[in-house]
Amino acid sequence: MVDDLARVGYLADEGTATAAWLAWRTSRPLLLEGEPGVGKTSLATALAQVLGRDLVRLQCYEGIDASAALYDWDHPRQLLHVRALEAAGGVDADALEHDLWSRRFLLPRPLLRSLEAPSVLLVDELDRADDEFEAFLLELLSDFAVTIPEYGTVTAEVPPLVVVTSNRTREVHDALKRRCYYHWVEHPDLERETAIVRRSVPEADAALAAGVARVVARLRDEDLLKAPGVAESIDWARTLHALGATTVEPAAAARTLGAVLKYREDQQRVAAHLAELLAEPA
């Protein structure tokens, strides 16, 4: 699995790869937690590529409900249909009823789409959704089936590989955790991060990639409001390369600090001892 993921550009560590493999083999959802920017979301993208399946993404937010996540009915078309039949004369109410709540007027939203074709379902930032939604998701994750009152039950022929991510703004319910593999995704180590940067910004110098990874690793040990993630490393390497830098040199680094640090307080704190941070290890 490590190799498969590497082929599509995701350099996973052993734990992440094992978790993904198990989730796929045992049809059990995978719950990923970890600092923002460690690659939770991109793992789902990579898995979809590896398995050759569609990626169905559901971004959670407060107030998300069934009609946004699961399905909705195409009401304007339903109304037109009723009027058209009426205009054509004689409407059989029973037949009409049956007609109206059929598949042709059903609009699948992400969750239903993930059941209809083999897919990787990414439920992103579940902690943003509210309790009701989590309970509703539980039902789907238990049997990979949903019941639509007017229509019937839709069951997945091939269960989707489900990846759930959470940023831990609140604790995900035990009932959901019970159904998932739980994996905490760490920041990559220096070697892996260098490799990731080199892969993502192949045009940049090898020394630049290694330098960015080294400095970012040091920044993560600083007392910052928001520690940089892998995405920031890649951004920074790209920005530095665009400025013509071949190593992380102080002048260019000072000008591009905004690519790595997203809070003014953090930038000020780091700028004060930037030279020290950039220093090569003795």
- Minimum separation from the CB atom of position 94 to another protein (A): 10
Q: Counting contacts by CB under 8 A, is residue 7 touching another protein?
A: no
Q: Counting contacts by CB under 8 A, is residue 2 touching another protein?
A: yes
Q: Counting contacts by CB under 8 A, is residue 13 touching another protein?
A: no
Site string for another protein, 256-275 (x = CB under 8 A): --------------------
* 3-class DSSP state of 145: strand
Per-residue three-class SS string for the chain: CHHHHHHCCCCCCHHHHHHHHHHHHHCCCEEEEECCCCCHHHHHHHHHHHHCCEEEEEECCCCCCHHHHCEEECHHHHHHHHHHHHHHCCCCHHHHHHHHCCHHHEEECHHHHHHHCCEEEEEECHHHCCHHHHHHHHHHHHHCEEEECCCEEEECCCCCEEEEEECCCCCCCHHHHHCCEEEEECCCCHHHHHHHHHHHCCCCCHHHHHHHHHHHHHHHHCCCCCCCCHHHHHHHHHHHHHCCCCCCCHHHHHHCHHHCCCCHHHHHHHHHCHHHHHCCCC
Residue 162 to residue 57: CA distance in whole angstroms: 10
Q: Counting contacts by CB under 8 A, is residue 82 touching another protein?
A: yes
Residue 250 to residue 265: CA distance in whole angstroms: 19
Of 57, 109, 113, 177, the one binding another protein (CB under 8 A) is 177
Q: Counting contacts by CB under 8 A, is residue 107 touching another protein?
A: no
Q: Counting contacts by CB under 8 A, is residue 100 touching another protein?
A: yes
- Minimum separation from the CB atom of position 159 to another protein (A): 15
- Minimum separation from the CB atom of position 234 to another protein (A): 22
Q: Counting contacts by CB under 8 A, is residue 220 touching another protein?
A: no
Q: Counting contacts by CB under 8 A, is residue 50 touching another protein?
A: no
* 3-class DSSP state of 274: helix
Name the residue nearer to another protein (CB basis): 17 or 70: 17
Name the residue nearer to another protein (CB basis): 17 or 248: 17
Site size for another protein (CB under 8 A): 52
- Minimum separation from the CB atom of position 6 to another protein (A): 11
Q: Counting contacts by CB under 8 A, is residue 282 touching another protein?
A: no
- Minimum separation from the CB atom of position 31 to another protein (A): 8
Q: Which residues of the chain form contacts with another protein (CB under 8 A)?
A: 1-3, 14-15, 17-19, 21-22, 25-26, 28, 33, 36, 61-65, 73, 75-76, 78-79, 82-83, 85-86, 91, 93, 96-97, 100, 127-128, 130-131, 167-171, 174, 177-178, 181-184, 225-226
